[in-house]
Chain A
Amino acid sequence: DGGITQSPKYLFRKEGQNVTLSCEQNLNHDAMYWYRQDPGQGLRLIYYSQIVNDFQKGDIAEGYSVSREKKESFPLTVTSAQKNPTAFYLCASSRQGAAGYTFGSGTRLTVV
């Protein structure tokens, strides 16, 4: 079945560490996105990519980095510069025009 796989489901980070969240899709979608969700709030866009080897900052990119070396993969690194990283992170992909928007099941990141 086609879909998006995010891993791990739960992730714990110590102060000062960088951590990388995985996102893989087999939907043949060109566009991929990373969103952050805080309790009781909607989703906010961190980064997005429309094609391989190209990506753009979203509304809250500071303290995050991404890469898009393959069409299927769009990993997100939460760096030590992100001061409040505890949140639920969602990866998504779509066809042109936001059609077929598909979300992964999310990664819950907690700073310990």
Chain B
Amino acid sequence: KQEVTQIPAALSVPEGENLVLNCSFTDSAIYNLQWFRQDPGKGLTSLLLIQSSQREQTSGRLNASLDKSSGRSTLYIAASQPGDSATYLCAVSDAGGTSYGKLTFGQGTILTVHP
């Protein structure tokens, strides 16, 4: 059974720092990996999706990498801002036939960026 682990569980940084969030998964037979953001009491917003054949994806100040063979992904946030404060969740999609995207989630990293 796929298990996803995120480290650290919580992170507090001053504004302007570059930071890295880590995600590891036990079964490398994934279809893709996604990073989501969740604000308190809200739903999730997809940030980046990396297909299993890709190594990284970038969107603005966010960069996500994927090393499928070692079962790891990192989310890099450049020049962090207070508005980046949220919970960041990593999720992997199984490699089933039609791959309609059942996701297995990590427990999340709670990020606080203080001014």
18 A–B contact pairs at CB < 8 A?
A6-B43, A40-B107, A42-B108, A43-B91, A45-B103, A50-B98, A58-B102, A94-B100, A96-B101, A97-B93, A97-B100, A97-B101, A98-B31, A98-B100, A101-B34, A101-B101, A106-B43, A108-B41
Chain B: CB-nearest residue to A101: B46
B53 CB to nearest A CB, Å? 12
B-contact bits for A92-108, CB 8 A (1 contact / 0 none): 10101111011111101
Nearest CB of B to A62, in Å: 17
Chain B positions near chain A (C-beta within 8 angstroms)? 4, 31-32, 34, 36, 41-46, 49, 89, 91, 93, 98-108
Residues of A bordering B, CB below 8 Å: 4, 6, 30-31, 33, 35, 40-45, 48, 50, 58, 88, 90, 92, 94, 96-99, 101-106, 108
Residues of A within 8 A of B89 (CB): 42-43
Expressed in whole angstroms, the Cα–Cα distance for A103 and B89 within the complex equals 13
A88 to chain B, nearest CB (A): 8
A41, A92, A101, most chain B CB atoms within 10 A: A101
CA distance A90 to B4 in the complex (A): 19
